[in-house]
Structure 1
């Protein structure tokens, strides 16, 4: 698992439009809110991502890049993104199946998907905050906001 204060594992994943997105793309430019979710089109996942979308302008104005990640295919991510009106990247951790989720310690082997793991990564690539919830348990978007404020105000998130 990615421990607080440790370098975040790098990744290179296609987004819902087929563009390759890497963690390094945001180095020294923005903090990253990395949100792993189990499956597109499920109730809790949809609700969580809609909450992030509702706050996307605030995140962008504060130099925060939201990245959603699931083991769904790029094509599934595209339809889901279009249907829900999501304007942030949804990354496909489809193949090798769950490699990014495994690197972050949030892959459920028995289910074949990511659990609800979220990570705040500062612009230098260090994990500053994380929360991991079980599949049925939605995360609180207000916790993201507090964690990102801590990173911004102290430069470390502590």
Structure 2
């Protein structure tokens, strides 16, 4: 019996040490794991028929959101002179595809600015979590917080695979809506697979075409 207790105690200690080791190493392993699973996430075109969201030619319906501690209903204050790329995405905390997409958009922000096209992103994350992501990656375009899933419901892109109480409840089908200076929806990019996104440069090319701008 005593030997069995010793073996059990030793096994328990080994498991605890293993868990502790994995926990302590997660911070350094996570970027490598995320990079591996997102290595082929980007495509250059929206090639499927999945098409949620407001109809082309309709008015962008606005949002029910917060930004930097204040309520937000319209995104017009962020608009570029030639239009806006509105990116609905799942989470800046736990979704590696969303994080990589938003980081890549930041890398191309100067090119968007040159084209007179603004970038606005929205997630369901608490504002504190959004701000942590913004600070870590130097995001300089607005990331706004959807209040109680109301924006994603209004836009017609709420992912209804999850129910209230589920951790992921409130996420959208990730995608991009192109809004012209008059507030009209002139283009959309939505792929049914959440793990696939149109890359930032291809999105810009698509946005220019949808907005009637020169491809240069």
Shorter-chain TM-score tier: 0.7 to 0.9
What residue number does 1:68 align with?
121
Task: Give the match's secondary structure for 2:188.
Answer: strand
Q: Does structure 1 residue 18 correspond to structure 2 residue 69?
A: yes
1: CA distance between counterparts of 2:70 and 2:106? 20
Runs of 4 or more off by more than 3 Å in structure 1? 26-30
Structure-1-length-normalised TM-score: 0.85
Q: How many residues align?
A: 151
User: Unaligned 5+ residue runs, structure 2?
Assistant: 1-52, 163-168
Which residue in 2 is equivalent to 1:109? 160
Deviations 1:83-109 (A, max 9, x none): 12111100000x2x2111112221112
Aligned to 2:213: 153
* TM-score (norm. length: structure 2): 0.64
Contact 1:72 1:92 in 2 (8 A): yes
Q: In structure 1, the residue corresponding to 2:213 is in which secondary structure?
A: helix
Deviation at 1:76, TM superposition (A): 1.1
1:63 and 1:102 map into 2 onto residues whose CA distance is: 29
Retained in 1: the 8 A contact 2:108–2:200?
A: no
Q: For residue 118 of structure 1, give the secondary structure of its aligned residue in structure 2.
A: strand
After superposition, the Cα gap between the structure-2 partners of 1:59 and 1:70, relative to the gap in structure 1 and judged at 3 Å, is same
1:125 corresponds in structure 2 to 183
Bigger strand share? 1
Q: Secondary structure of the residue that 1:135 maps to in structure 2?
A: coil
Match of 1:9 among 56, 61, 70: 61
Q: In 2, distance between residues paired with 1:28 and 1:82?
A: 23
The structure whose residues are more often helix, as a share, is 2
| Greater C-alpha radius of gyration | 2
Task: Give 2:194's aligned residue.
Answer: 135
